[in-house]
Amino acid sequence: MNFDLAPRLVFWETTKACPLACVHCRATAQRHPAPDELATEEGRALIDELASAPRPMPILVLTGGDCLQRPDLGELTAYAKRLGVPVAISPSVSPSLNTGMLSMLRTNGVRNASLSLDGAFADTHEQVRQIQGHFSDTMRAIDLLQEHGFTVQVNSAVMAQNVHELADMAALLVHHDVRTWEVFFLIGVGRGQSIAEIESDEYEDVCHFLVDASQYGMAVRTVEAPFFRRVRAWRARRPDASLDPAVEFRLGPLYKELRTRLRQQLGEPTSRVLAPTFATRDGKGIIFVGHDGRVYPAGFLPFPLGSVRDKGVLEIYRDDPVLKAIRAAEFHGRCGYCEYADECGGSRARAYVATGDPLADDPACQYFAVQRS
């Protein structure tokens, strides 16, 4: 797939409105729509543009806020279906996520949905989501989506307050037949600036654990942790798979804790490693359209590139010099000369938040520290 011509995923923050007030919200969502949100006709124009893109056509991911709060959601998804533009939704779990809404979306061709779950237990998840009873509501929503024929992906943000629950979360999702687990490594943007990230020496432990978790019939992907691909490649090239990864890769106590708990919950692995290896990253295969039409490399990378009110999103994606550098892996410092520069490339969002330079090093990557140990 040639990511220089078009992205694979176009995220559209359809609205700022959301009934939740999550403590780590990237969008800093609010109760009501913002006055400058893209209008229906502007949304249709965005869909028109995606319909003209090179094949395979980009997938339009409707997010927010809560995309279910858009009163024209039915009109927009029906329009996308007529033009053959694939649409996925990333809604909040609220009363709007109901049988009537899901039936309408299925009729309009939507087949994939992602929900957020940020703890294996109610207390942890609800501390993040700020709504009592939201954990059980989320588990019911997963079941409801599956009953309506949706393929369900669960998104989980990794942070200091929930990292020790990752094995229990993986087991919970496997038991609910979730197809894909997308693990977000927290970036301090929006309300997330007040949330503690995991310790620097824990990133490798978590990535190795995620390789283990992907061996139970559930695909595992990461967001803002592209070095997971390096870890997955290391594990795939091991000459002796019987060796203990904790010893072979000099991993820390967190990995051992999570691996032990995973085996207690799920037993021995049941499948090959299910971890897609598409070398996408912020600005390479991914682009983000904000509620007001402003375009960014990704939702966690608030580096403005222009607006769809002035120029097409595909034109911005193809022609912006920073995005060209990102796709060419022309990074500064360690990320620039690392042999995994293209396969991984580091989190451009974390680099930007840490340094103000979207082409700088990803400070969370421990590759060179691992090599020196």
Q: Is residue 100 part of a domain?
A: yes
Q: Is residue 60 part of a domain?
A: yes
| pLDDT grade for 242, boundaries at 50, 70 and 90 | confident
| pLDDT grade for 104, boundaries at 50, 70 and 90 | very high
CA distance 241 to 249: 12
Contact 15, 25 (CB under 8 A): no
- Please give the radius of gyration of the chain, using alpha carbons only, rounded to the nearest integer: 20
The pLDDT tens digits for 289-327 are: 999 999 999 999 999 999 999 999 999 999 999 999 999
Give every CB contact of residue 7 below 8 A, 6+ residues apart in sequence: 58, 285, 286, 287, 317
Per-residue pLDDT at 372? 40
Q: Is residue 233 part of a domain?
A: yes
Per-residue pLDDT at 19? 82
Q: Is residue 85 part of a domain?
A: yes
Q: Is residue 127 part of a domain?
A: yes
CA distance 87 to 71: 17
The structure tokens 């691909």 sit at 229
Tokens (6 digits) for 259: 């691996």
Q: For 4-16, b where at least 16 C-beta lie within 10 A, e where not — what string?
A: eebbbebbbbbbb
> Which of 81-95, 159-173, 205-219, 269-283 is predicted least confidently?
269-283
The total number of structural domains that make up the chain? 1
Q: Is residue 57 part of a domain?
A: yes
Query: Which of 197, 140, 182 has its CA nearest to residue 11?
Result: 182
Q: Is residue 238 part of a domain?
A: yes
| CATH code for the domain in which residue 196 is found | 3.20.20.70
pTM of structure: 0.93
> What range does the domain containing 52 cover?
9-266
Question: What's the burial of 310, exposed, middle or buried (CB within 10 Å: 0-12/13-18/19+)?
Answer: exposed
Per-residue pLDDT at 295? 98
Q: Is residue 285 part of a domain?
A: no
